[in-house]
Amino acid sequence: MANFKNIDDWKVWKYIESKTWLILSKKIDSGTSAQWVAWEKASKEKYPILYWIFETFPNHWEFMFNWTNNLYWQFQWRFNPKHKYNKITFAKPGYYDCDRQILFAVCELVSKFVEFQETEGHVNWDYDENHRSNFKTMQEIRDYWRKEFPNRDNDFLPYPDYIDDKDFFSFDRSKLTEQQRINLEYWSNHYGMIEERHFKREQEILQKALNIRRYMVD
């Protein structure tokens, strides 16, 4: 997908520029501030129209694009429900405490960002080792959310059949048989072990998301 905002990224523009302006103006690739000032002065005096087209107009274009783009998104936010609200995708319908909503929101946002970058994003994630490492972490979070999380062990085991889940914290345990008490203790320990393992993994994923947060820009 072409980056409409930056004219310099347009293939046709770059081709025309390389065949005309870069040759005529002898534009330098790098130099001191004094060398740039000298080049700009000479280019403006010798080719004023071409200088405006290839050096000045792109900045005006970017300003106009940003202005109209911001206006578009303000309209979308005010009148289009799709963009007015931040939607959290849950594993399945139901009630979720705030701690679960935080996990779901973070993982979903990172996953969508990664999937956008893999198809039409503008960031060069091979730019250096830091970019490669951070994008790899983002992909790890995405894979956790899309693959690992939906297929992990259920961390809420069904109550033993002799316990009414509505009265779990108030029912009279003295009426249980010895075997039922053993089964209940096993259920409680097993449930706690799974819950703790999942919680540690979730904390690890959330911490990774915090560490790569500053790189999640396009």
In this prediction, residues 135-156 reach a mean pLDDT of: 88
Q: pLDDT at residue 2 above 50?
A: no
Residue 201: partners with Cβ closer than 8 Å, 6 or more residues away? 144
Helices (H), the chain: 11-19, 21-25, 33-46, 48-51, 57-79, 81-84, 98-119, 129-143, 149-151, 178-211
Looking at residue 168, what is its pLDDT? 53
* Nearest alpha-carbon partner for 141 in 119, 124, 157, 117: 117
139/6 Cα distance (integer angstroms): 27
Q: Which range is most confident: 76-85, 88-97, 181-190? A: 76-85
* Nearest alpha-carbon partner for 140 in 111, 169, 119: 111
Looking at residue 172, what is its pLDDT? 64
More confident residue, 74 or 140: 140
Q: pLDDT at residue 171 above 70?
A: no
Residue ranges of domains in the chain = 1-85, 86-218
* Residues 89 and 192: beta-carbon distance below 8 Å: no
- Where is average pLDDT lowest: 15-19, 105-109, 133-137, 180-184? 180-184
Amino acid identity at 21: W
* Nearest alpha-carbon partner for 103 in 85, 88, 87, 82: 88
Looking at residue 114, what is its pLDDT? 95
Amino acid identity at 190: H
